[in-house]
Amino acid sequence: MRVWSLVLAGVAAVAAAGADTDAPQFLHPRVPRYGGIVRLADAAEPPRAGSKIVFDITADSQPGELNKGLEAVARYLNLNAESGIKSTDVRLALVLHGPATRTALHDSAYARHTAATNNPNLDLIRELKAAGVEVFVCGQSLARNRYKPDEVAGEVTVAVSAMTVNVNKQQDGYAYLSIH
C-alpha cells in the first residue's frame, strides 16, 4: 500500500511540475467567450477608430465545431475594445460562402445537413450582430450546396453573392480580409 502511495504522489508531483504556468490569459472585453485576445500594451499598430472591414469567410469547420472565421471577427472586436474603441466606431461586415456556407444555417437545417444536433455558430453570430457586424451568406453558395434560403438563420442576410458583397463593400471604402 505504501508503494502505491509513493507512486501516486510521484505522478501528482510530475503532473504539477508539467503544468503550463506560462499559458496566456485570454481576455474577452467585447464578445464574451469568443475571440480571446492577450493584452499587448506596447505592441505596434493597434486598431484604429473608423476602420471599415469586410471579412470574406470560406473557412470550413467540422460539424458541431465553431467556424474559425467567425472567431477571427470576434477577436477583431475584442482587440478594438481592449484599445478603447467602441463597436460603433468601426464598421464590420462578413460574408460566408464556399465551405463556410453551412455556418449560416438555422439549427434544424444544420442538423439535417450534418451529424450535429445544432449549429454551434449561432450564439456567436448573435453576439457579432449585437456588436453591429453585418452578417451575410452567399445566395449562390446556398444554391450550389443545395441549401434553401429558408434554411438560413434569421440573423443572417442572404446576399445575391459573396462577390457582390465584397465588391460593394470595397466600393464603400471597406478593407478586404480573406479568412479560409
Ordered domains of the chain (ranges, CATH): 51-179 (3.40.1260.10)
Q: What pLDDT is recorded for position 41?
A: 87
Which grid cell is 140?
A: 449562390
Give the position of cell 464598421.
91
pTM of the model: 0.87
Sign of CA pseudo-dihedral 19, 25, 26, 30: positive
CA separation for the pair 35, 109 (Å, rounded): 26
- Residue 93 parent element (H or E): strand 91-96
CA separation for the pair 76, 30 (Å, rounded): 10
Question: pLDDT tens for residues 4-48?
Answer: 333 334 444 444 555 567 889 999 999 999 999 999 989 999 999
Angstrom CA distances, 164 to 6, 135, 139, 168, stand at: 67, 14, 10, 6
Mean pLDDT of 164-173: 98
Question: pLDDT tens for residues 51-94?
Answer: 999 999 999 999 999 999 999 999 999 999 999 999 999 999 99
Longest CA pairwise span in the chain (Å): 75
Sign of CA pseudo-dihedral 137, 142, 145, 148: positive
Q: What pLDDT is recorded for position 8?
A: 38
Mean pLDDT of 98-117: 96
